[in-house]
Copies of this chain bind each other. A is one copy, B any other.
């Protein structure tokens, strides 16, 4: 536990938001490169592939504290392993999905495949009509069974894709049952206790941001 309490403490503490995102992307990129037989890589090569700068890559990778980086660049396998450790969910904690609408189903299908490390353990819905049939080969549980099943299966994180009007109610309910991380696709600001992490993803916002930026870019910079 006695880490070196030097000036800068970068080893695996709280990383910048942006860095976390890039590390996730580096990992998948590296995984692909590894499959293609690549064993070592320079910061400038990874930067080129990922569309950023060598300095950025090196700075990001400081968080991985990988050692073993000689003048022959980084060891791809080691890097992947280092990053993977950061994205591992506490053992025994599972991920649930709540809300089997369009987006929910898309996410189910998306992570049904062999996505590295991300497995959706169970699916729920507030709408009783949806809980009758199986969807994508999975049984959809009604929300009123959440408590029972949560106790049994130890859920840690939830993906929320319910209608806006239901979001806060569902959030309250699942937090009650021990959920500590929420990936929230609902465009509503959730109120949760301080020990719960909420990460918001807003599809409409993403469309609008692209529209704005494209429009702006057309107006201001057709020269470059």
Name A's B-contacting residues (CB within 8 A). 13-15, 17, 20-21, 24-25, 28, 49-51, 86-90, 102-103, 105-107, 109-111, 115, 118, 156-157, 159, 180-183, 187, 189, 194-195, 197, 199, 201-218, 220-222, 224
Closest 7 CB pairs of A and B: A181-B214, A106-B106, A102-B109, A51-B189, A199-B210, A24-B205, A24-B208
- What are some 26 contacts across the A-B interface (CB < 8 A)? A13-B216, A14-B220, A15-B212, A21-B209, A24-B202, A24-B209, A25-B187, A25-B205, A28-B204, A86-B212, A88-B211, A90-B218, A102-B105, A102-B109, A110-B203, A118-B207, A157-B210, A157-B211, A157-B214, A180-B217, A181-B213, A194-B224, A197-B210, A199-B209, A199-B210, A199-B213
Instruction: Name which residue of chain B comes closest to A159, CB basis.
Output: B207
A50 lies within 8 A of B217 (CB): no
Report the bound CA distance from A134 to B216 in whole Å. Answer: 35
A214 lies within 8 A of B156 (CB): yes
Instruction: Name which residue of chain B comes closest to A224, CB basis.
Output: B194
* A220 CB contacts on chain B under 8 angstroms: 13-14
A195 touches which one: B105, B157, B209, B222 (CB < 8 A)?
B222
Q: A14-B216, A105-B102 are in contact. Are A199 and B195 (CB under 8 A)?
A: no
Instruction: Name which residue of chain B comes closest to A216, CB basis.
Output: B14
- 14 new A-B contacts, CB < 8 A, other than A90-B215, A102-B110, are A14-B216, A25-B205, A89-B211, A102-B109, A103-B106, A105-B106, A106-B106, A111-B207, A159-B207, A180-B218, A181-B210, A181-B215, A183-B207, A199-B206
* A195 CB contacts on chain B under 8 angstroms: 217-218, 221-222, 224
